[in-house]
Amino acid sequence: MDNRIKIGDKLCIVMKSRTSGKERMSVSQLLEDCGGGEYIISTPISKGRLIPIRPGTEIKLIYYRKNGIFSFGAKVTERKGGRLPTMKVQALSAPQRTQRRDYYRLEAVLSVKVYYRPEPESSELAVMECVTLDISAGGLKLASDVNIEEDEHIICEINILDKVLSINGKVIRNLAVYNQEYEYELGVQFVGLNEKTRIELISFIFEEERKLKRKGLI
C-alpha cells in the first residue's frame, strides 16, 4: 500500500508555542507536491482562525491512511497571503506510522447524545444521554442504560474541541453489565466518517494523550 502523502490529504499540524513551549494542534491540507520532499500546504486553522507560522519553524505533519496514522517532521520555508494563504514546507524526515490500523483508544469520559430507533419499525428517533468509556478515530465504547441490538445504526453527538460532532455509527457489540452506574456497554463503529471529522477526532485524541503523558498517567 502506498503510504506517501497525497494532494488533497487533510493534515494535522503540531508545533510548540514559542512562549509556553506547549504543543499546539491545527488543521491544514496538502495543496501541491513540489518534489524532493517539498510541499505547499494551506495555512493551518484552529477553532476557525488562521494560524500563521513563521518561516524557519519546525513542525510535525500528521495524516491518515487506511492502514494507520503517519507523521513526519518538516520546516516552514516560505509563506504567502492572498485569498488562499499557503505555506511551503520541507520534509525533514521520512513518514513513520504512529498508530495501528485500529487506532489508539483513549480512555475518556465524554458526554454523548445517542439517537436511535426504539423499535425496528419506528419512524422517529429516540434520544438518550450516554458517556464514553473510550474513544478512537474509528469508534467508541458507550456506557448506556438502554440496550441497542448489534448492527443497529445510531447517531452520536459528541462535544469536543469546543464544537459538537455529529457522527453516524453502527453498534457492533453489546454487553449486559448491570453495575451500579449503567447496565450496558455498547461498542460502536463509526460509519461514513469524513476526513475533516476524522482529523478533528485524531487531533483531540493526540492532545489528550499528550496531557496524560505530561501528568505521568500513561
DSSP state of 133: E
Q: State whether 119 and 175 are in the same domain.
A: yes
pLDDT of residue 23: 72
Q: Which of 32-41, 77-86, 103-112, 209-218 has the highest mean pLDDT?
A: 32-41
Segment 46-55 shows an average pLDDT of: 81
Q: State whether 116 and 68 are in the same domain.
A: no
State the cell numbers at 180.
451500579
Please give the residue that has the higher pLDDT: either 69 or 159.
159
pTM higher than 0.75: no
Spatial distance between the Cα atoms of 154 and 152, rounded to a whole number of angstroms: 7
Which of 18-22, 60-64, 158-162, 184-188 is least confident?
A: 18-22
For 66-160, strand residue ranges (E) read: 68-80, 86-91, 96-99, 111-116, 126-135, 139-144, 153-160
CATH code of the domain containing 72: 2.30.110.10
Q: Which of these, 163, 162, 112, lies nearest to 135 by C-alpha position?
A: 112
Q: State whether 41 and 90 are in the same domain.
A: yes
Q: State whether 148 and 208 are in the same domain.
A: yes
Q: What percent of the chain has pLDDT over 70?
A: 89
What confidence category does residue 73 fall into, taking pLDDT thresholds of 50, 70 and 90?
very high
pLDDT of residue 102: 44
Across the chain, mean pLDDT equals 86
Give residues with Cβ within 8 angstroms of 108, minimum separation 6: 132, 134, 135, 208
Spatial distance between the Cα atoms of 4 and 63, rounded to a whole number of angstroms: 10
**Which single residue is written with the C-alpha cell 474541541?**
161
Q: State whether 138 and 78 are in the same domain.
A: no
Does a structural domain hold residue 174?
yes
Count of structural domains within the chain: 2
pLDDT of residue 84: 87
Determine the structural domain holding residue 191 and report its residue range: 111-214
pLDDT of residue 63: 85
Does a structural domain hold residue 139?
yes
Does a structural domain hold residue 2?
no
pLDDT of residue 21: 65
pLDDT in tens, 83-126: 889 999 999 999 988 754 445 688 889 999 999 998 877 889 99
pLDDT of residue 214: 65
Please give the residue that has the higher pLDDT: either 216 or 109.
109
